[in-house]
Amino acid sequence: MDKATTKELLLFIQKSILLIKRRFKPIKKSDDFLNSDDGLDRLDAISMRLQAIGEALKNIDKRDRDFLLLVESKKYWSQIIKTREILTHHYIDIDSEIIYMICDEKIDELQKNIEKLLEKLS
């Protein structure tokens, strides 16, 4: 990911968000992640994509610290990057309720912010 351009990373994030939304569609409550093998597979797949999104944002931030700030605050982006750290280093502690909340309440906002960043590159 380090060698990808900022635009490639943003497009990767955009694609990941679409995959997360598709995988999350049948999930109606956080327990749906835990009640079946299909739910656990979805939790794992969504968690991996969230981790990859955080990694991509971390790389963008390393490359150009001010670019992400064009559309949202440092605190906003650092929360997403910190989520990546938790998913990477504390995978055993993944909380299905937090993953549910991210998918249910936060992913649309992230999608809009990524679209704004892509517009800035145009």
pLDDT score, position 92: 61
* Structure confidence by residue, pLDDT tens digits, 6-37: 999 999 999 999 999 999 999 999 999 999 99
Asked whether the beta carbons of 54 and 87 are under 8 A apart, the reply is yes
- Give the torsion sign (CA, 30, 85, 90, 75): negative
pLDDT given at position 32: 97
pLDDT digits over 60-99, tens only? 999 998 999 999 999 999 999 988 877 776 656 678 899 9
pLDDT band at 1 (very low <50, low <70, confident <90, very high): low
**The pLDDT value given to residue 77:** 96
pLDDT band at 2 (very low <50, low <70, confident <90, very high): low
pLDDT over 80 (residue 51): yes
pTM: 0.91
d(CA 84, CA 28): 24
